[in-house]
Structure 1
């Protein structure tokens, strides 16, 4: 059993927050493993296309594989207190980019060597030693988020907020301890400690530290605790009632199309230009161009130049996805 020993100050400083960075890494790992989420299904072509970007590949190289038990804390900074979801992500990206070199080397070199069953990828070591790793990891997270999750985040954030509301109601009735003992079947509350039924034993005193409880949707149904860096204490737990028959449609986020891209794809049975699509759909030309670029990289639209215009049209793969939606 693993134990976090807490005090009154820790309990008083406990708060809830989504962690866009953690959700992104969960989706990235699932994508790279060619897996399917138990509720949201296949990560989809846009997520897979993002793997080809070198900064995303660098980020992936620092994630644990089967048998590994450590993720560098710098990849999932403790969420701040921003109220807008995009601001939360921007804050986390900025924290990754600001990682000090000595902290990075401790986590990327020392801790992975102690906790991984495989050596650090040579490319990751080279980039870490060059001092450019924080900037590239931040860029990789931003890129994967943009291509694979941005369109679906409103739905995911809504689920997370519903969980936080549910937990707040539990606190109102039963106190903070009443929540800490109900986050997961393997997480318990002992009055002065949070206990975890884990494969490893140990105890860490986190008295006086701020604890963030982060509901997980794409990381569902697992839990994790982040404790190595003193000011980065986070407990990730599965959001309430995911996968219990509520209105979560597996194909929706799995295809990672979203309303904007679905509307564009549906209107591309006939080849059309960016300007024509902007007029028909009602989006700004720049927004249309951005979405078309992502869809083209994923192989969902083709493009061909016709005089002064570039015309876009559904590919056969897109037709199949639309039929399944």
Structure 2
């Protein structure tokens, strides 16, 4: 059990942030076997063939993510690979800039990571970190960017909920239902850990709380120097993240943009091609293409190339529009 003591200053500095870079690393863990319960099977069933078809060399990334073991705490992810974010909602580009600028003395890890890869990083950190950043960008665009609006909606919803609990009842209420492996008592946060025990001090830096779609059913803490103390935890509702139940067309939305465009936007619960959307909606491929172009121009839909196919997905704005219109219906 790790005991994290909070001063008044630490409570005041406790805050939330999101991390696209951490989602990259955590999703690689899922692809390497961390999802024993199959929570992310819908995503992995799509991601694996896309990665295989792309033929990308992602070894520089995958070699740095330990193969998960049965122990929730074994095979720790190297801290330099995904440092805690410095702003509440950084872009992937911002986090990769931090990664590229990692001082050589911080490139350290555990024995669970490829020794050969670590030797290459230490021998030529600037070049290897640049290669790593390029691999992460390619991986992101292929298997995470199309789903990011959906993931972002889930994470932001959890932050709103937890911020409300913090306002209503302070730290005790905030941590009360955060995760079964977390408990708050007498100004101390207790984190379950199978091998590490003892007190840890925040030293007035507060705790950064980072909800993560791909971390369940575990939590990950960053408490060592020189990093910002952080806790990555699964958000509420993560079990429904990949559900693809048909979404009825909100009448309010149809009244504003027309039934066909509203139907397409509602159907994009997961990235889909023009052909697939045509089959599902009964609209002609040409009509689907025309409507998707209009939705892209309005910032409600984004496009992502997958081989010879173009996959369309709702943007964060598109997700918010559908959610708001559904709530009014």
Normalising by structure 1, what TM-score?
0.71
Quote how far apart the aligned CAs of 1:133 are. Answer: 2.3
Q: Answer yes or no: is the 8 Å Cα contact 1:97–1:138 preserved in 2.
A: yes
What does 1:247-258 correspond to in 2, within 5 Å? 248-249=242-243
2:139 matched residue in structure 1: 144
What does 1:216-231 correspond to in 2, within 5 Å? 216-231=212-227
1:120 matched residue in structure 2: 114
Q: Answer yes or no: is the 8 Å Cα contact 2:209–2:230 preserved in 1.
A: yes
The count of aligned residue pairs is 273
SS of 1:204 mapped into structure 2 = strand
2:175 matched residue in structure 1: 180
The answer to whether residue 199 in structure 2 is matched with residue 203 in structure 1 is: yes
1:73 matched residue in structure 2: 79
- Residues 17 and 37 (structure 1), Cα distance of their counterparts in 2 relative to 1, 3 Å cut: farther
Give the gaps of 5 or more residues in structure 2. 247-266, 280-285, 311-329
Residues in 2 aligned to 1:248 and 1:45: alpha-carbon distance in whole angstroms:
11
- Residues 158 and 277 (structure 1), Cα distance of their counterparts in 2 relative to 1, 3 Å cut: closer
Quote how far apart the aligned CAs of 1:61 are. Answer: 0.8
Q: Answer yes or no: is the 8 Å Cα contact 2:6–2:201 preserved in 1.
A: yes
- Residues 37 and 141 (structure 1), Cα distance of their counterparts in 2 relative to 1, 3 Å cut: farther
1:18 matched residue in structure 2: 18
Quote how far apart the aligned CAs of 1:66 are. Answer: 3.1
SS of 1:214 mapped into structure 2 = strand
Q: Answer yes or no: is the 8 Å Cα contact 2:17–2:88 preserved in 1.
A: no
1:61 matched residue in structure 2: 63
Give the gaps of 5 or more residues in structure 1. 270-274, 302-311, 313-325
Quote how far apart the aligned CAs of 1:34 are. Answer: 9.0
Quote how far apart the aligned CAs of 1:232 are. Answer: 2.7
- 1:153-196 alpha-carbon deviations (Å, 9 max, x no partner): 11111111111111111112111232123211121112332111
**Alignment RMSD, CA only?**
3.5
Normalising by structure 2, what TM-score?
0.71
1:96 matched residue in structure 2: 99
Residues in 1 aligned to 2:110 and 2:166: alpha-carbon distance in whole angstroms:
37
What does 1:41-52 correspond to in 2, within 5 Å? 41-42=41-42, 43-50=44-51, 52=55
- 1:3-58 alpha-carbon deviations (Å, 9 max, x no partner): 2223222211110122212222121122233957643324134445437523x321
2:233 matched residue in structure 1: 237
1:316 matched residue in structure 2: none
1:291 matched residue in structure 2: 304
Q: Answer yes or no: is the 8 Å Cα contact 1:58–1:124 preserved in 2.
A: no
- Residues 261 and 158 (structure 1), Cα distance of their counterparts in 2 relative to 1, 3 Å cut: closer
Q: Answer yes or no: is the 8 Å Cα contact 2:75–2:110 preserved in 1.
A: no
Quote how far apart the aligned CAs of 1:281 are. Answer: 4.3
- Higher deviation after alignment, 123-132 or 154-163: 123-132
Residues in 2 aligned to 1:61 and 1:282: alpha-carbon distance in whole angstroms:
39
The answer to whether residue 276 in structure 2 is matched with residue 266 in structure 1 is: yes
